[in-house]
Structure 1
Amino acid sequence: MCATKVLFSRCFAVSKLNTPILSYIQQNSMSVYPNYYIEPIYRKETQQELVKTGEISKYSHIPTKATLNGQTCSDSYDPVIALFTNYVMRQGLKALAREQMDKCFENIKRLQLEKYHKCTTEEEKLKIELDPKKVFHEAINNSKPLLQLTGVKRGGVRYQVPMPITDRRSEFIAMNWLVDAGKEKDRKVRFAMQLARELVDASNNTGKVVKRKQDLHRQCEANKAFAHYRWS
């Protein structure tokens, strides 16, 4: 009789645990949210667009995930700068990476102001961008490659085949190139200053990173005869 009670209690416990949420957690153990939870909409611009289109009412009763620490609706928050800060970060030292980025933007401001005060005409002054964030975004856009070389083996020979890449991959490559260029310095130049110089040069479509992108495009142009191996 006791064994029957124990068996019944075990079966009852298993039946209680068999819920949709627990079954989802068992299938997707890396997430604490069920699959019907949506990503949080924390940007004011996106919220205003939803209000204008009238789609904001669709999200009133839909379960939403909690926002992360870095997700904020502050006007000073920039997702591209936050992503670049993560690429600069080493060994989890996020505070140090943010400090380096703040110094970098300060150096960009100083470099641009020096050029601004050296100008003699108003037309030359208008061409100089004094906002460090705009200089940063322009540098990222000018550093993005359109193609990349991928090794494809055909007949025992490995060919370097040019292939188009997505915008996300292109942004990733450009940011890594800029970080690597910031590290190429001597002991007299700090990382923040070297990175600021590279960003200013890239915003003017010059510098090491832009040259690296152009060299990659030349290699892709030289290997365009192997482009058909992409589909074979």
Structure 2
Amino acid sequence: MLRSLCSRLEPLNLVCGYTRAMSAYPPHYIEAIFSKKQQLSLKETDEYIKLSHLPVRAAKNDDSESIFHNKLVNKMINYITKGGNKKLARELLTKSFECIKRIQIERINLNADAKNTITADPEQLLIKAIENSRPLLQLTAIKRGGVKYQVPVPVTEKRSYFLAMKWILEAAREKERKVHLPEKLAWEVLDAAYNQGRVVKRKNDLHRQCESNRAYAHYRWS
């Protein structure tokens, strides 16, 4: 009876597969190309003719071609957001950028010789901090012969960006509560941008643990 029930449900699972994957569009729908540069580069190739006959997904609300638009900054705003209050998250990150710029300008004024080496652009510093905090490996518990081994496994690009931003926010929120979040976040971003601080230490500790457990790496395939 269980087999017959499973066989009945199989076609339904195939039909509803895309809805269960949290998408309103079937898999054959392509992503919207909203960038004019990308459109012009595609028009020069034969791929543009192929894509013109395919159904297109609607572009996201926050997709933009503006020079001020940055995907990583938008992601950071999304991770700061709590209870759906995105406006507050945007304001907090803007205040954090103000703090970063103020600190960097103070450093330039104190040391005029290092004017060309010190970056005052907060967006560039945030991107650099995220890149410095990205882990390459992580430990995964794999059970073999009744024993759980901590096996080093490579991290996907998407997850590495997520972990970097999550660690920066956690480090900022763990600091003393007397200081406001924008100021705490600003210092964490600056520390990570210069390869210092708790977030970079956390990444290095994780890499060190993966290095010490490399003897169990073969369990990933066995």
Query: Taking structure 1 as the reference length, what is the TM-score of the superposition?
Result: 0.81
The one-letter code sitting in structure 1 at the alignment partner of 2:107 is K
- The residue matched to 2:152 in structure 1 has which SS? strand
Tell me the equivalent position of 1:181: 171
- The residue matched to 1:153 in structure 2 has which SS? strand
Is 1:164 matched up with 2:164? no
In structure 1, C-alpha distance between the alignment counterparts of 2:50 and 2:28, rounded to whole Å: 14
Instruction: Please point out which of 127, 131, 142 is paired with 2:121.
Output: 131
Matched positions, count? 207
In structure 2, C-alpha distance between the alignment counterparts of 1:54 and 1:144, rounded to whole Å: 37
Tell me the equivalent position of 1:96: 88
Instruction: Please point out which of 58, 75, 97 is paired with 2:67.
Output: 75
Aligned-residue CA RMSD in angstroms?
Answer: 2.1
- The residue matched to 1:126 in structure 2 has which SS? coil
Tell me the equivalent position of 1:85: 77
Assess if the C-alpha contact under 8 Å between 1:149 and 1:160 holds in 2: yes
- The residue matched to 2:115 in structure 1 has which SS? helix
Cα distance, 1:229–1:87 mapped onto 2, change above 3 Å: same
Question: How far off is 1:26 after superposition?
Answer: 6.3
Deviations 1:163-212 (A, max 9, x none): 11111111111111011011022232111111111111111111110000
Cα distance, 1:36–1:148 mapped onto 2, change above 3 Å: closer
Deviations 1:132-191 (A, max 9, x none): 111111111000011101111122221111111111111111111011011022232111
Tell me the equivalent position of 1:227: 217
The one-letter code sitting in structure 1 at the alignment partner of 2:94 is D
Structure 2: gaps spanning 5 or more residues: 1-13
Tell me the equivalent position of 1:7: none
Cα distance, 1:222–1:25 mapped onto 2, change above 3 Å: closer
The one-letter code sitting in structure 2 at the alignment partner of 1:207 is G
Query: Sequence identity of aligned pairs in percent?
Result: 48
Assess if the C-alpha contact under 8 Å between 1:87 and 1:176 holds in 2: yes
- The residue matched to 1:69 in structure 2 has which SS? coil
Tell me the equivalent position of 2:31: 39
